[in-house]
Structure 1
Amino acid sequence: MRDEIKTWRHVFKLDPDRDILDDDLELICMSGTDAIMVGGSSGITYDNTVDLMSRVRRYELPCVLEVSDLEAVVPGFDLYMIPMVLNTQHSQWMIGRHVQAIEQYSHLIPWELLIPEGYIVLNGESTVAQLTDAITDLDADTAAAYAQAADRLLQLPVVYVEYSGTFGDMELAADIRRVTRNARIFYGGGVVDEQTARQASQICDTVIVGNIVYNDLQQALKTVSAVKA
C-alpha cells in the first residue's frame, strides 16, 4: 500500500470538521480520484474522524488519515500521513510532537502504514502557517533547499508544497520539482477548477483538492479529469 502513493495523481482531502451530504460524498468517492485524505488544521476529533472514515469506507478506494492531532488518531485507515513542517520556527512541528507520540503510543504504532511528509508551508495567512509559525516568505532558492533537505538528507517519500487557501507560485513549485529526485511532490492550495488543477498537475506529481469540495462540488469534480488528462 505504501508504494501505491507513487501512482496517485489526484486526491480529495476531506475535513472531518466540515459537513458533507451522503450524496455529495458518493460523487466524490466515485469520481475517479485516486484516494481520499482525511485531515484538517483545527476542530479534528476522534468522533468526527471515525464518522467520516466509516462513510468513506463504503467505497473501494484508499482512505488515508493525515495526522494533525493525537487525540484524533483512528485505527482502520489504509495509511497514516505524518506531516513534518520543514520551514517552521519551532522544532515541535518538525519532530517534537512526533517524539511525544512515540513515547506514548510506540507499542500501538503501525509503522508499516506510516508515510512521513515534508511540508513546505507557503501561505502566511493560512491556519497551518499561523499554527506552526512557519517562515513563508521563501524565495525559490530557499524553498528548493528545503525540498532537497527533505528529499536527499531526510529521504522523505513526500514533499508537500502547501499554499492552503490560495493558488500558489507555480514557478517556485517548478523549482522545487527540478531539485527533487526521489520524493513525490504533493501540491495543495487554491485548486478550484479545471484550469488550476491542470496547472498544478503539469508541475507536481499529486494534486490535493480540498476547500472547493465544500464551496462548489461540480467544479471540484471536474478537477479529476483535468489532472488525469
Structure 2
Amino acid sequence: MMDYKEWRHIFKLDPAKTIDAEDLEKICESGTDAIIIGGSDDITLDNVIDLLMRVRRYAVPVALEVSTIESITPGFDFYFIPSVLNSTDTKWVKDLHHAAMKEFGELMNWEEIIPEGYCVLNPDCKAAMLTNAQQVETTDDIIAYAQMVEHMFKFPIFYMEYSGMYGDVEAVKQVKSVLVRTHLFYGGGIQTEAQAKEMAAYADTIIIGNQVYENLEEALKTVNAVK
C-alpha cells in the first residue's frame, strides 16, 4: 500500500452525510489516492462503521480522522489524530488524545497512527466553532504553527484547514517553503480542477470534502489536477 506521504489527492467523506452507492463507486474508483472518513458533528460508531464497510469494497486506502473516541473502530489503514493548535480549549489539543491513550494505548499499532498539527483558518466554519478556534491573524502566525509542528512536536503532518472557504494560495506557498520533513495537507473550498491545480502546486496533499456533496462531477475532475 502507498505510503500516506505519497498521497497527493484525498476525498474526505462525512459519515453523517448520505451518499448513494453509485456516487460512492465513482469516488472510490476515481483514481484518488485515499479516502478519509471524518466530520465535525453527528459522528457515531454506527455511521463510521457503515461508511467504512461500504468503502472497503474498493481497493482505495481508507483512513479515519478521529474526532470522537466513541467512533474509533478497527479496520482502517490509518488513524489521523488532529491536535487543533489554534484551539483555546485543551480538549482539542491534548485531552481527547490522553483519554484515547488511557483506553486504547495497549492496543494501538503506532505504525497506523498519524498525528496532525491542525490549524483551523476559517473562523466561521463548524470545526472552528466546535474547537473554539482562535482566529489566525497573519501568515506569519500560520508559519509559526507550522514550525512548531515540525520542529517542536515533530508531527508528520501540518493541516491548513479552511473548511468550506477557498484559502490563501500565497499563505500555502509560504508555509510550504518553511517545511522540510513535515507534510503539508490543504483542505477547504476547492470546487474546480483549476483550484485543485493551484493549491496542489504548493501543498503536498489536497483534500476535497464539501464539493463531493455539492457537485460530484466537478469534485471528480480535481483528481486529474494533481496526477
TM-score range, shorter chain: over 0.9
What secondary structure, in the 3-state scheme, does the structure 2 residue paired with 1:112 have?
A: coil
Q: Distance in 1 between matches of 2:12 and 2:44?
A: 16
Partners of 2:4 and 2:91 in 1: CA distance: 26
**Aligned with 1:111: secondary structure?**
coil
Give the match for residue 209 of structure 2: 210
Amino acid at match of 1:133: N
- Counterpart in 2 of 1:199? 198
SS of the residue 1:84 aligns to: strand
Matching residue's letter, 1:23: E
Residues 1:71 and 2:70 aligned together: yes
The Cα shift of 1:108 comes to: 2.5
Cα distance in 2 for partners of 1:153, 1:160 equals 16
| Contact 1:187/1:207 (8 A) holds in 2 | yes
2: distance between equivalents of 1:172 and 1:52? 34
Aligned-pair identity in percent equals: 48
Structure 1 distance, partners of 2:223, 2:109, is: 31
**Which residue is equivalent to 1:33?**
32
Partner residue, 2:166: 167
Spell out, residue by residue over 1:31-85, the C-alpha distance to the aligned partner (whole angstroms, 9 max, x if none).
0000000000111100010010000001111011000011111110001000011
Q: CA deviation at 1:137?
A: 3.0
AA in 2 matched with 1:179: V
CA contact (8 A) 1:17 1:44 kept: yes
Secondary structure at the aligned position of 1:119 is classed as strand
Q: 1:137 and 1:105 mapped to 2: Cα distance?
A: 33
User: Is 1:221 aligned with 2:220?
Assistant: yes
Q: Does 1:117 align with 2:77?
A: no
CA distance in 2, matches of 1:188, 1:180: 17
Distance 1:146 1:155 in 2: 12
Deviations 1:128-176 (A, max 9, x none): 1111111223201111010000011111100000000100011111111
**Aligned AA for 2:38?**
G
Q: Does 1:141 find its partner at 2:108?
A: no
Contact 1:122–1:138, Cα closer than 8 Å, also in 2: no
Task: Determine if contact 2:119/2:160 at 8 Å carries over to the other structure.
Answer: yes
Deviations 1:91-135 (A, max 9, x none): 221111101111122222222210000001100001111111112
RMSD: 1.1
1:106 match: 105
Q: Which residue of 2 aligns with 1:184?
A: 183
What are the Cα deviations for residues 16-38 of structure 1, in whole angstroms up to 9, with x where unaligned? 00000101100001100000000
Aligned mates of 2:127, 2:107 — CA distance in 1: 27
The answer (yes or no) to whether the contact 2:15–2:51 under 8 Å persists in 1 is: yes
Structure 1 segments unaligned to the other structure (5+ residues): none
